[in-house]
Amino acid sequence: MSNINLSRRQVIIGAGALSVGAVAGQIINPFSRAEAKGGKTEKWPWPYVKLDPAKTAEIAYHEWYRIYCGGAVISSVFSQLREKLGEPYKSFPIDGFMFLEGGVAGWGTICGAVIGANIVTNCMIGPRYSGATDGLLMGSEILDWYTETAMPVYVPKKPKVSPEKIPHTTSDSPLCHISVGKWMKAANKPFKSPERRDRCARVTASVAYHLVELLNQWKQGEYDTDGEIPSAEFGISTQYNCEDCHGSDVPSPPEEAAK
């Protein structure tokens, strides 16, 4: 465990557990509930049947080579639910999310696989105003898990690149740029290499696998979230690896400093 995780726990103990409701109070919803409830798809939760995590991961792995990380995670879950349940999955424009590639159009922001997982949890379980916060918190839990896990976890049944060519790296960050960058440094492989591409396909499969594990727990009524909302803990929207960017001199947000 890094110092950051230690300090995160300390912050939680110090500040007490802030509820999701407290975050909700800080964000102004520009639409009234009546306006947002018009669509057929805006009835939550969407139907779900338990899926096989390994089968889902295989679909995600192969879909990466077609529509990349974010689209592939969404497709791995929603394409199966299209077949098993039909709507609203048939109407969902899976391939429209291809733009999540490279952390949104190659900008290296959040890893598309993690955004894809958040799209699935929030569309299926619902936004936090729908009465359940599990969609939001499951998405946050996946962000946290992603940052702490030596990736990629999942080894495909028929890998396109031999597994020993794919080192495992821990990103400490949900950012595509940092996650890919740390891996490229460890592997000494360029961005367009088959190894880097296969690494990202496997990361995508790993996220899809874990996502379905959590969704299956949720379906069984056994999901007990580890999700947290960092902005509620730190007084600024943030990821946890403060020192990676700020060094040892991590600033406090104005409100905290004014106390």
Q: What pairs with residue 175 in β-bridges?
A: 110
The helix-helix angle for 134-148 and 112-125 (nearest 10°) equals 160
Nearer to ligand HEC, 2 or 225 (CB): 2
Phi, psi of 219 (to 5 degrees): -60, -35
Helix (H, G, I), strand (E, B) or coil at 152: coil
Number of C-alpha atoms within 13 angstroms, CB side, residue 207? Answer: 40
Contact code string over 239-258 relative to ligand HEC, x by CB under 6 A: xxxx-xxx---xxxx-----
| Minimal distance, residue 237 CB to ligand HEC, in Å | 9
Q: Return the sign of the alpha-carbon dihedral for residues 74, 48, 147, 233.
A: positive
Query: What's the CA gap between 144 and 148, in Å, rounded?
Result: 6
Task: Considering the complex, state which of residue 80 and residue 173 has its C-beta at the smaller distance from ligand HEC.
Answer: 173
Longest Cα separation, the chain: 57
How many residues touch ligand HEC under the rule CB under 6 A: the total is 14
Rounded CA-CA distance 48/197 in Å is: 31
Nearer to ligand HEC among residue 41 and residue 252 (C-beta): 252
| In the complex, minimum distance from the CB of residue 230 to ligand HEC, in angstroms, rounded to a whole number | 6
Nearer to ligand HEC, 86 or 251 (CB): 251
**Site track for ligand HEC across 120-159, x = CB under 6 A:** ----------------------------------------
Using DSSP, state whether 228 is helix, strand or coil.
coil
- In three-state form (DSSP H/G/I as H, E/B as E, the rest C), the secondary structure along 68-108 is HHHHHHHHHHHHHHHHHHCCCHHHCCHHHHHHHCCCCCCCC
- Interface region with ligand HEC, contact rule CB under 6 A, candidates 16-24, 144-152, 206-214, 234-242: 234-242
Residue 10 binds ligand HEC, judged by CB under 6 A: no
Our CB check for ligand HEC shows the closer of 27 and 258 to be: 258
Binding mask 181-220 for ligand HEC (x = CB under 6 A): ----------------------------------------
The nearest distance, CB 183 to ligand HEC, in angstroms, is 17
What residues make contact with ligand HEC under the rule CB under 6 A? Answer: 234, 236, 238-242, 244-246, 250-253
